Amino acid sequence: SAANEQSQIDLDLGVKVPGLASAKLSLAIGEPAIVSPKAAVGTPGTIIRTAQTRLAIEISSEGMLALAGIKVRVPIYLEVAHAEAKLASIRCQGASNEGNVQVEAVPGVVELALGEVNTKAFANFGTTPRVSKATLVAAPLLGIDALAYVNASNMQPKTLTFTASDIRSDVIKTISTSDTLTSLQASLLKNLDLDVRLGPLSISSPKAIQMALSDTLSALTVPLDKILYNTLLTLGIRVGETDIRVTDARCMQSVLVQ
């Protein structure tokens, strides 16, 4: 099963989508409410973070028509449905276990990067995989390396209040955001850090090459969006939502579990 923090699966999607020559996917799924550590006990200011699902997708295009059909390889890394919760305050009301708790929470749709990911850290949800510049084109006369990163989330945290009754009843509160993967991919293309290398025989100017690459990547956004959407739908992942629960609160000892 892929549904635990130590599991990772690799799939050749075998897609037959116009514009795509191949698509491969690596997937790691954390346990429900996976955090590092699994629970946080501390004073106001304590932060915990989820990273529920990680995907690394490598697609290759049928080629840049503007450059004699040179194929383009595009590795994409996603960290989906991550969120942060910070214990903001505990307000005591009489008994030591009758306090109200405020949690500042930020849901995230996705962290999306174009680049190579360190697969050794991929399934370890206690660390963040390093994403480095990837080689998109490796032709005899042309080489293109690129790196890009975007993060969609509610920039301002939302404050949730848990009463003593909520805590005793194990009430779960949900926050959400409405950003989409499609808008993220468009933002990703605008933030490309490109290195273009030409061989001894120049086949085009760097500007023309960048335009050809941009056109190719833009054409890939629709089929890539379909792959991502269908994959997440199959997994039952709620994009941009996170559930938060406080299990206990003491005037002398704060406890936050998400």
Domain ranges of the chain: 9-34+49-82+109-153+171-240
- The average pLDDT across 154-170 equals 85
C-alpha distances out from residue 183 to 78, 80, 163, 202, 219, Å: 14, 15, 37, 35, 14
DSSP 205-225: -HHHHHHHHHHHHHHHHHHHH
Lowest mean pLDDT among 34-48, 137-151, 159-173: 34-48
Distance CA(218)–CA(175), nearest Å, equals 32
Q: Residue 61: which pLDDT band, with cuts at 50, 70 and 90?
A: confident
Q: Per-residue pLDDT tens for 97-134?
A: 678 899 998 876 678 899 998 777 777 777 778 889 99
What pLDDT does residue 212 have?
79
Q: Per-residue pLDDT tens for 2-38?
A: 444 455 677 776 666 666 778 888 888 766 554 445 5
Average pLDDT, the chain: 75
Q: Is pLDDT above 60 for 225?
A: yes
Q: Per-residue pLDDT tens for 129-146?
A: 888 999 998 888 788 899
Please say whether the beta carbons of 59 and 74 come within 8 A: yes
C-alpha distances out from residue 38 to 45, 55, 88, 161, Å: 17, 22, 19, 22
Axis crossing angle, helix 181-190 with helix 206-235, rounded to the nearest 10: 160
- Output the six-digit token pair for 246: 């406080």
Distance CA(39)–CA(113), nearest Å, equals 28
Q: Per-residue pLDDT tens for 173-192?
A: 988 765 556 677 777 877 88
Other CB atoms closer than 10 Å to residue 251's CB: what's the count?
15
Q: Is pLDDT above 60 for 1?
A: no
C-alpha distances out from residue 61 to 116, 122, 162, 176, 218, Å: 17, 25, 50, 34, 11
What pLDDT does residue 5 have?
47
What pLDDT does residue 103 have?
92
Provide the β-strand partners of residue 173: 244
